[in-house]
Chains A and B, each alone.
Chain A
Amino acid sequence: MNYTRPKADAVIIGLGWAGSLMAEELTRAGLNVVAIERGPWEQTQTNFSPAIAADELRYGVRREILKPPRVETLTFRNDSSQKALPARDWNAFQMGYSVGGAGKHWAANAWRFNPSDFEMATRLRDRYHNMKLADGLIVQDWGVSYAELEPFYDRVEKIAGISGKAGVINGVTQSGGNPFEGSRSSEYPTPPLIRSHWNDKFHQITEKMGFHPFPIPAGTIGAPYTNPLGVNLAPCTYCGYCGFYGCGNWSKSSPNVCVIPALMDRTNFTLLTECTALYIDKAEDGKTVSGVTFRDSDGNTGFQPADIVCLSAYQLDNVRLLLLSKIGKAYDPVTGEGTLGRAYNYQTMSMGYLYYENEHMNPFISTGALSTQIDDFNGDNFDHSGLGFLGGAGIQALSDQGTPLSMTDRLPPGSKMWGSAWKKTFQKSYQNYAKIQGQGTSYSHRDSYLSLDPNYKDENGQPLLRLTFDYNQNDRLMARFIRDRIEDICKVSGATSWETEAFPDKHNSPFRAYDSSHTIGGAVMGLDPATSVLNRYQQHWDAHNLFVLGASSYPNNGGYNPTITLSALTLWTAHAIVNDYLKNPGSLVR
């Protein structure tokens, strides 16, 4: 230990969406807050100005604003009989590495989860009367309901300026939106963007098939907008340099643009950048934690004491930091005991790749989340009786990427990948390629978990996180079902050729293309300390002044991207801290 900093009321580890929203709530409540962030502070006008932002090589391919594996990566294996090896090069999980975290370079698909996603154990009992499921599948309720989260979803969407069209407001179905969504208390703050040609086609096709297409909600701002924190956001310009890039326009919702400008004005907020949290310190009383030990960019070790510790370092890093801090009991897959690292889950994808003739898709006019979706087969929106699996997927026509290097291999099956033949095929497919994505739920399983790696270490000499994961039978059945629904759409789509696939038909590999960054679970919330690390307020069962924020809390994944839900959960927890915990520190489950 080289130095101790002045004590804070609360310390926050990691300043992505979760950390910055927590900082906003706690500083507004008057607390003295210190945030510790591994990367530097970055802002739109200095770091992503439109003069340099449109650079596919730099950001899309070399991925300059993401966390380099050199700094810290994870090790991976499909099952516990294998030796885990480190992810050496870029792979599917693209982590944040500066103020704003991954919320700076996300693609901004801005979803709420389905009400059913939070209470699948209850559904299984009540709707399906204990239907036979895959052996070892973990199905449990989150302990918080959609209705309880709704006000916080609403607040997050307003802070982020989400564009979209409501499907259900106060129980009343609205035309043009998603009729399956949980009831909302208000319309989206900004309108949906102009649909792409492919979005329109998909809309027509699926509507004819009797489904219910709608424009998806997105953190790509639909109109000039001032958020509740007084920040002005500008309309998205469809530049297409979106997911993997910072937005040069103040048009993509990010912590940097939507929240941090407010924090910069608050004198009770301090941010330590380029400081990496090494572990959370346990207090002598055995019931609390006392602060955070970190390493600064000079290589010195500092201690930040605080009354409250909020861990919001991203799902994987949250679990790793808890393991490194030895807080909670690590999961043992042999005995099934321990909760920390248990219930890791992912996103189960199915895809359709389509090729048309003479469509002029103009794929360069796009955003990270320009998509039309049907939710007829998502979550528990359809009857699963006799299907033998839980969950489903949103099926979407996604116009998210038109930058050329990302599309050089989007060619009909069997095409030559080089030479004059490639040039001709690529020229044609660039304008005629379309993609259907089935973004599916994921349920955790006894055999998939997170632990510390015994062999490999990070830059600071601490063990890397080890991920043991493969798709389970529920994932496989669900994904094939969705792939067949995608195939149904392809057949009537008017495409000249297409291919469909269910990702779980192969072993999971974080290194294959077209996957997601949505890693979930490992430090989950719940009602029972035997099967969860956190209680329903994301408060640690074993240390009542430690709150863990992020997708690490989800015992299962919805058929959606995770960020708006983890942001809403953060506000739900902040609300409990401010209104209850401060007055009466101790377990919030009373």
Chain B
Amino acid sequence: MKRRSFIKAGLILAGTGTAASIFTPAGAAERKNVLNGGKIWRAKETPLPTPADPTQRLFFNEREYALVTAIFDRLIPADELSVSASQAGCVVFIDNQLAGDYGKAKWKYNQGPFENGTESQGNQSPYSPAEIYRKGLQELDTHCTRLFNKSFTELSHDMQDAYLEKMESGEFTYPTFNSEVLFGQFLANVQEGFLADPIYGGNRNMVGWRMIGFPGARYDYRDYAPLKGQKLNIEPISIIQLLKA
């Protein structure tokens, strides 16, 4: 091996040896992704969350909206503990989510070939959440109508619960989905809507957080940490309030 540049330079800033064609692409330079010590480094801003607008329908059509409302309201029904999922904004929440990056599964590895694999190999489905809702709701609707001659929305609460129980235990197979998978998708999303920050359209008045006694987007509990095993009754706050502050 040749003598090393740092040896020649006696360990100080040896630097530029042979640079055949030094070329820094304009785009990269503009975006400041060559950072040099001793000069100012600026991080890109993280965009603030966009508040969901409850008056806008972004993804669902009327039929889907009604179906999701009926399903979500059985998963989280109104009772003495809280209002129902739809009253808490969970349908607005998922409508917004499905219209964005989440709906498109932008994070997912989506190159083929697609194969089912073993249980250990996890979810290999090629479908994005938006596709799961679009296809899944339609398949559920058809299946339910064939079974009862009625749409899911027209069933009694007891019948709806019984249907959902069978879905949950994987008893139905729709053309594209096993019912357990579809059920899992709905349950995960309704809980997200009920317990995520209200800025995303659900958890209206922080109803989900109040139900369990979670104080929300607070960032400092130093005064409370020594109060152990006590009920604390801390009023929750949302990112909406923090951004206004």
Residues of A at under 8 Å CB distance from B? 2-9, 27, 29-32, 40-43, 46-48, 50-58, 61-63, 68-70, 73, 76-78, 82-91, 193-194, 196-197, 200, 235, 237-241, 248-249, 263-275, 283, 285, 287-288, 296-298, 300, 302, 305, 307, 359-362, 364-365, 402-405, 408, 417-420, 422-424, 426-427, 430-431, 455-457, 507-511, 545, 582, 585
Contacts and interface: CB of A to CB of B under 8 A. Distances in A.
B35 A51 contact: no
Give the dominant DSSP class at B's interface: loop
A249 B229 contact: no
Given A57-B200, A77-B121, A268-B37, A70 B220 contact: no
A267 B36 contact: yes
B212 A404 contact: yes
A29 B11 contact: yes
Contact of B81 (A47, A361, A420): A420
B28 A298 contact: yes
Interface string B186-226: 01000110011100100000001101111111111110111
A7 B224 contact: no
Given A50-B242, A508-B120, A510-B122, A42 B43 contact: yes
B196 A405 contact: yes
Of the listed residues B12, B15, B77, B79, the one surrounded by the most CB atoms of chain A closer than 10 A to its CB is B15
Interface string B12-24: 1111111111111
A580 B102 CA distance: 51
A87 B209 CA distance: 33
A4 B81 contact: no
A4 B16 CA distance: 11
B11 A30 contact: yes
A508 B119 CA distance: 10
Contacts of B125: 88
Interface string B101-121: 010001111110101011111
Contact of B120 (A76, A240, A271, A296): A76
B22 A419 contact: no
Given A3-B24, A6-B16, A418-B168, 15 more contacts: A9-B6, A46-B43, A47-B46, A52-B49, A53-B219, A76-B120, A84-B121, A88-B109, A89-B109, A89-B123, A238-B225, A272-B35, A274-B28, A422-B76, A423-B211
B147 interface: no
A4 B36 contact: no
A582 B46 contact: no
Interface in B40-65: 41-46, 48-49
Given A4-B20, A197-B229, A86 B111 contact: yes
Contact of B21 (A4, A509, A582): A4
Interface residues of B, number: 99
B196 A423 contact: no
B192 A455 contact: no
Contacts of A83: 115, 117
B220 to A, nearest CB: 4
B31 interface: yes
B197 A55 contact: yes
A316 to B, nearest CB: 14
Nearest to B236: A364
Contacts of B225: 193-194, 238, 365
Contacts of B81: 420, 423-424, 427
A78 B118 contact: yes
A274 B27 CA distance: 12
A417 B164 CA distance: 12
Contact of B187 (A305, A417, A455): A417
Contact of A6 (B17, B75, B212): B17
B18 A7 contact: yes
A274 B33 contact: yes
18 contacts: A5-B22, A9-B15, A46-B46, A52-B46, A89-B107, A89-B123, A196-B228, A237-B219, A249-B219, A268-B37, A287-B1, A305-B17, A403-B214, A405-B192, A418-B74, A423-B76, A427-B81, A508-B120
